[in-house]
Amino acid sequence: MRLDKFLCDCQIGTRSEVKKIIKAGRVTVNGTTPKTADIKIDEAKDIVCIDSKTLKYEKYLYYILHKPAGCVTANKDNLHKTVMDYMPNECKKDCSPVGRLDLDTEGLLLITNDGKLSHELLSPTHHVSKTYYAKLDKPVPQDAVRLFKDGIDIGDEKPTLPAELDILDEDFPSARLAIYEGRFHQVKRMFKAVGCEVTYLRRETFGSLTLENLPKGEYKKITINEITGITETTK
């Protein structure tokens, strides 16, 4: 990798800015001050410092965002704030959300620049569990537990995959639902199929990832080990 690209990927500055930094002698590679920006380095082995501070290169970035309602799951949008507006600058260049949450849906969203992982997690052959907490306009019928477990018709060519429903409260109708696929408006359509309208929806888990105590609108950088935990939950 070229030195200037390495510095850009580390969010030191634009290509022209990092060339000036290199020319000013502020950068060292393995203790030596390079004269040009186009020298090749091994990002996995070489020690690159700026102003004597060692830079850590990360090929892939992984974040959890507690998405608030009112923003769209997209990199850009002309009408609404996007989830990327909540993310740090290092994340905005190459990262994208994995899947999507509706405009009015809150909760856990994974954001990364690891395209291969994103494809695997969204593939129909990798049934990653996703758990949602829902408030409803009326009590959920008791037979919905069986209907969801068997797979329910929501108007698509095929019924949904088996899902796990836990009815939480009938006086203040709410439920928790675990699904293993990601169809368009799936959770809302599943509840509608048993006569209920979703009035509030929050995704609580994605595979092995959880929101824990992450405040709404905040993000957390996670490790590759935590990401591996997701893939281990696939079927």
Distance, in Å, from the CA atom of 60 to the CA atom of 41, rounded to the nearest integer, reads: 18
**Residues 85 and 47 reside in one and the same domain:** no
Read off the CATH number of the domain in which 149 is found.
Answer: 3.30.2350.10
pLDDT tens-digit profile of 193-215?
999 999 999 999 998 899 999 99
**Residues 19 and 123 reside in one and the same domain:** no
**Average pLDDT score over residue span 145-154:** 97
Q: What is the pTM of this model?
A: 0.83
Mapping DSSP to helix (H, G, I), strand (E, B) and coil, where does residue 68 land? coil
Q: Which of 225, 235, 231 is nearest to 180 (CA)?
A: 235
**Residues 79 and 189 reside in one and the same domain:** yes
So what's the pLDDT on residue 213? 92
Read off the CATH number of the domain in which 18 is found.
Answer: 3.10.290.10
**Average pLDDT score over residue span 153-168:** 97
**Average pLDDT score over residue span 101-123:** 92
**Average pLDDT score over residue span 166-191:** 95
**Residues 28 and 106 reside in one and the same domain:** no
Instruction: Tell me whether residue 102 is one of the annotated catalytic residues.
Output: yes
Q: Parallel, antiparallel, or unpaired: how do β-strands 198-206 and 106-112 relate?
A: parallel
**Residues 71 and 144 reside in one and the same domain:** yes
Q: Write b or e for each residue in 199-232: b if 16 or more Cβ atoms lie within 10 A of its Cβ, otherwise e.
A: eebbbbbbbebebeeeeeeebeebeeeebeebee
pLDDT tens-digit profile of 3-18?
999 998 887 888 999 9
Looking up tokens 């359509």 gives 189
Contacts of 195 (CB under 8 A, 6+ apart): 138, 141
So what's the pLDDT on residue 68? 98
Higher pLDDT, 1 or 9: 1
**Residues 130 and 22 reside in one and the same domain:** no
**pLDDT band (50, 70, 90) for residue 233:** very low
When divided into structural domains, the chain yields a total of: 2
Q: Which of 102, 137, 156, 166 is catalytic?
A: 102
Q: Which of 214, 232, 231, 233 is nearest to 63 (CA)?
A: 214
**Residues 77 and 45 reside in one and the same domain:** no
**Residues 30 and 116 reside in one and the same domain:** no
- Domain span including residue 11: 3-54
How many C-beta atoms lie closer than 10 Å to residue 124's C-beta?
9
**Residues 167 and 206 reside in one and the same domain:** yes
Answer whether residue 29 shows pLDDT above 50.
Answer: yes
**Residues 154 and 113 reside in one and the same domain:** yes
**Residues 24 and 78 reside in one and the same domain:** no
